Amino acid sequence: MRNKILFICPYPAGEAPSQRFRFEQYFHVLRKNNFEFNQYSFWSKKNWAILYSNGNYLRKTIGLLAGYSKRLFQLLWYVPTADYVFIHREATPLGPPWFEWMSVKVFNKKIIYDFDDAIWLANTSEENKLSAWLKWHSKVKWICKWSYKVSCGNQYLCDFAKEYNQNVVLNPTTIDTENLHNPFIVKRDIIEDLITIGWTGTHSTLKYLEGIKPVLEILNKQFSGKIKFLIISNKKPSIEISSLQFIEWSKSTEIDDLVKFDIGIMPLTDDTWSNGKCGFKALQYMSLGIATVASPVGVNKIIIENGVNGYLCASYEEWLTKLSLLINNEELRNQLGKMGRTKVVESYSLLSNASNFLWLFS
């Protein structure tokens, strides 16, 4: 008899990076291992499209109520027939964890609780500040307590979860280095002879670019006509630099856009929220053989061995020095990129982590 898994997640299938790279890309592995599964999202595609925009309060409210209605139906109709309930981040965005509680206490189901951010901390976006006080961040520790296993994206998150549950699995965010992030199957079109310093991320992480804005401005002047900055996001950045180009993120072109980078950057602030991050930007760059420069915060210090497969920069001076060095040295860029990809393939790839992911359901 095949084991049945319910994947309960916030966002529409195939849309959110955290879902795509933490569990959706493993679906073929589950099929090969005789698992049956279904995925149920809280937000519809239409509501997901406006969720982080200003305004649209009526549509958001209608979408919110629809999401709760779906969750109630799923709880009563699908949860009773499941062997495992895999919950990514949360079943519902606001209020107490009623879905999780009933899954365990009423239906006696095994919850696999998965998260890749320090979601017990308040970090609500500027566009949705009104919902911050309704988020009920304390529910994270309770869901950890009730869970059969807790799946965390880095050791910092694991340490938190172990305060409430000893059955914690370090399950890093991984990359499909064969079929997706593979520089050997993606053709890079070089249209202009400029070295591209790139960044990719969602609207919520654009703020980290502001932290190194003075460095980018100096580089823009110092290497005028030699470099450009490329930002890939779902929102246009507020930074104004003459050589900056913005590309709106698209799933269909994300890899083709990323391989335009010669250097990938991942600045962060050193705080509790950033320590919960799983280094996904760095992993994307490195998997494609792109020389990577990041802040020495959290898991970045584990992923990147400074000077071997990338650079870690804590000050303006270090950022300026290392980026200048890479701009001037193509051989060094290639070497760091090569070593970076090796690191991802060996330790942060779908293939290297497949058995670890399957162990969640044992």
- Asked if pLDDT for residue 133 goes beyond 70, the answer is no
Q: Alpha carbon 19 to chain centroid distance? A: 8
Q: Span 156-160, mean pLDDT?
A: 98
- Asked if pLDDT for residue 22 goes beyond 90, the answer is yes
Sheet holding 168-170, edge to edge: 35-41, 3-9, 84-88, 110-115, 149-152, 168-170
The mean pLDDT of the chain is 94
Residue pair 5/36 in contact (Cβ under 8 Å)? The answer is: yes
3-class secondary structure, 37: strand
Q: How confident is the model at residue 187 (pLDDT cuts 50, 70, 90)?
A: confident
- The predicted-structure confidence for 27-69, as pLDDT tens digits, reads as follows 999 999 999 999 999 999 999 888 877 888 899 899 999 999 9
Residue keyed to tokens 């290297």: 352
Q: What is the pLDDT of residue 49?
A: 86
Q: How far apart are CA 127 and CA 129, in angstroms?
A: 6
Closest CA to 160 of 143, 177, 148: 143
Q: Span 322-346, mean pLDDT?
A: 98
Ranges 122-131, 147-156, 248-257, most confident: 147-156
Q: What is the pLDDT of residue 190?
A: 67
Across 83-87, 124-128, 171-175, 229-233, least confident range: 124-128
Q: What is the pLDDT of residue 204?
A: 87
Q: Alpha carbon 123 to chain centroid distance? A: 15
Higher model confidence: residue 189 or residue 197? Answer: 197
Tell me the whole-structure pTM to 2 decimals. Answer: 0.93
Token digits for 72?
Answer: 């109630």
- The predicted-structure confidence for 95-112, as pLDDT tens digits, reads as follows 999 999 999 999 999 999
- Asked if pLDDT for residue 130 goes beyond 60, the answer is no
Closest CA to 14 of 251, 278, 306, 253: 251
- The predicted-structure confidence for 196-215, as pLDDT tens digits, reads as follows 999 999 888 999 999 999 99
- Asked if pLDDT for residue 252 goes beyond 80, the answer is yes
Closest CA to 24 of 35, 36, 32, 13: 13
Q: How far apart are CA 291 and CA 327, in angstroms?
A: 10
Domain annotation for the chain: domains and CATH numbers: 3-171 (3.40.50.2000), 195-347 (3.40.50.2000)
Q: What is the pLDDT of residue 257?
A: 96
Q: What is the pLDDT of residue 176?
A: 98
Closest CA to 217 of 243, 247, 193: 243
Token digits for 110?
Answer: 């095994």
DSSP structural state of residue 133: G
Q: Span 293-300, mean pLDDT?
A: 98
DSSP class per residue in 208-229: HHHTTHHHHHHHHHHTTTTEEE
